[in-house]
């Protein structure tokens, strides 16, 4: 390292022989050259880990229950999922791709196929803001079937696209004991990705809205299909809570991971899991490196109390 510094110092020494430039000015001149390099330096192609996700939002009415944490205030589950995705989107490495889909009834409907996050960042945010419960086309919520359709949709994009599925796990109508989604064409683990559970552990009333999103009260016990394996009055399918046990079992069945939505860092860690990465050549902007080095030189040059010797001929 010391020999490298001596060589670099020797190459810069010619600056000190220019009339009017002394040795004490060398850091300033070098910083100026570094700033010029920072302005004109082209992107460098590097092999980097990238990620591709088709992100699916459950837009059924149980996702309107306000038991998720939003900066210390209760917000709807769907709003919490959108906010979390908004916050992690800008932290994915350039070259990564993200697309949007929604789930209702038993189908997952892609809205926007995965696009590169840095080049289309504003478009992704604008389209994300428009995803809400008015997009649902039915009141049923067959989570297991919807997850298999999310896998099929991701698989149809390409082999590198993973699944990210935000849901509370509330099946409506409820599953019969031992019932599982049809998986004739699904190979567990073939696609990969995450089921993300959203919501709180306490059963809450489910808001009832019309197709325009206007409130119509809450769902009552007599309005929904109750579990057939429980005695009358014991089933509470008109109430909703995060059903983690069901989502964990479903994730295992499909070869996916399961995470509960707790905070942004935890979600980002899951999204950037090395098992989900695809190495790709990516044009990388390294202009910050010479700019930071130039600032360090200027800070060193003007460090209080540092003495610089004048030129001697």
Q: Express each pLDDT in 180-189 by its tens digit.
A: 898 889 999 9
Enter the pTM of the model: 0.78
Mean pLDDT of 169-188: 90
The larger pLDDT score, comparing residue 73 to residue 95, is at 95
pLDDT band at 1 (very low <50, low <70, confident <90, very high): very low
The pLDDT tens digits for 217-238 are 999 988 899 888 887 778 899 9
How far apart, in whole angstroms, are the C-alpha atoms of residue 53 and residue 91? 14
pLDDT of 68 above 80: yes
Tokens standing for residue 308: 């610089």
The larger pLDDT score, comparing residue 306 to residue 8, is at 306
Please report which helix (H) or strand (E) contains residue 114, including its range. strand 107-116
The pLDDT tens digits for 259-293 are 999 999 999 999 999 999 987 765 656 667 767 77
How far apart, in whole angstroms, are the C-alpha atoms of residue 233 and residue 5? 80
Per-range mean pLDDT, top range of 124-138, 175-189, 270-284, 292-306: 124-138
pLDDT for the residue 25: 63
Nearest alpha carbon to residue 53 among 223, 191, 205? 191
The larger pLDDT score, comparing residue 265 to residue 311, is at 265
Domain locations in the chain?
A: 2-41+286-301, 47-281
Tokens standing for residue 214: 């206007």
Contact 227, 174 (CB under 8 A): yes
How far apart, in whole angstroms, are the C-alpha atoms of residue 226 and residue 231? 10
pLDDT of 254 above 80: yes
Reduce the DSSP state of residue 249 to 3 states and report it: helix
pLDDT of 137 above 70: yes
With 0-12 / 13-18 / 19 or more C-beta atoms within 10 angstroms meaning exposed / middle / buried, residue 235 is middle
Show the DSSP H helices in 193-263 as ranges.
244-254
The larger pLDDT score, comparing residue 239 to residue 285, is at 239
Nearest alpha carbon to residue 58 among 156, 162, 171, 181? 171
Contact 284, 46 (CB under 8 A): yes
pLDDT of 213 above 50: yes
Nearest alpha carbon to residue 108 among 131, 83, 126? 131
pLDDT for the residue 37: 62
Indicate the pairing of strand 97-104 with strand 107-116: antiparallel
pLDDT band at 34 (very low <50, low <70, confident <90, very high): low
Residue with tokens 């064409």: 185
Residues 6+ apart with CB under 8 A from 8: none
pLDDT band at 199 (very low <50, low <70, confident <90, very high): very high
Average pLDDT value over all residues in the chain: 84
How far apart, in whole angstroms, are the C-alpha atoms of residue 149 and residue 241? 23
Could you tell me which CATH number the domain at 47-281 has? 3.40.50.410
Tokens standing for residue 145: 């079937």
Please report which helix (H) or strand (E) contains residue 82, including its range. helix 77-89
pLDDT for the residue 193: 97
Mean pLDDT of 29-39: 69
- pLDDT above 70 covers a percentage of the chain that reads 79
Reduce the DSSP state of residue 43 to 3 states and report it: coil
pLDDT for the residue 8: 44
Contact 100, 78 (CB under 8 A): no
pLDDT for the residue 17: 52
Reduce the DSSP state of residue 49 to 3 states and report it: strand
């Amino acid at each position: 390292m010391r020999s490298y510094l001596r060589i670099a110092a020797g190459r810069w020494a010619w600056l000190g022989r220019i009339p009017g430039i002394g040795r004490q000015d060398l850091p300033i001149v070098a910083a100026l050259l570094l700033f010029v390099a920072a302005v004109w330096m082209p992107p460098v192609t590097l092999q980097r880990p990238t990620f591709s996700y088709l992100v699916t939002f459950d837009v059924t009415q149980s996702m309107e229950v306000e038991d998720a944490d939003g900066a210390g205030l209760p917000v709807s589950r769907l709003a919490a999922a959108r906010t979390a995705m908004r916050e992690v989107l800008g932290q994915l490495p350039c070259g990564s791709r993200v697309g949007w889909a929604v789930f209702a009834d038993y189908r997952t409907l892609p809205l926007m196929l995965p696009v590169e996050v840095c080049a289309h960042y504003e478009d992704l945010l604008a389209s994300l803001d428009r995803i809400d419960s008015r997009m649902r086309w039915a009141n049923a919520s067959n989570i297991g079937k919807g997850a298999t359709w999310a896998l099929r949709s991701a698989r149809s994009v390409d082999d590198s696209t993973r699944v990210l599925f935000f849901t509370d796990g509330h099946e409506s109508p409820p599953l019969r004991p031992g019932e599982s989604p049809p998986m004739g064409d699904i190979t567990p683990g073939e696609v990969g990705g995450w089921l993300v559970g959203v919501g709180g552990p306490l059963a809450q009333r489910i808001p009832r809205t019309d197709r325009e999103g206007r409130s119509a009260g809450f769902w009552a016990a007599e309005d929904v299909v109750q579990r057939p394996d429980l005695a009358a009055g014991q089933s509470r399918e008109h109430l909703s809570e995060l059903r983690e046990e069901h989502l964990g079992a479903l994730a295992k069945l499909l070869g996916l991971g399961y995470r509960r939505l707790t905070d942004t860092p935890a979600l980002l860690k899951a999204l950037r899991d090395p098992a989900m990465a695809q190495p790709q050549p990516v044009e990388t902007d390294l202009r910050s490196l010479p700019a930071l080095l130039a600032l360090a030189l200027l800070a060193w040059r003007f460090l209080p109390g540092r003495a610089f010797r004048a030129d001697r001929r």
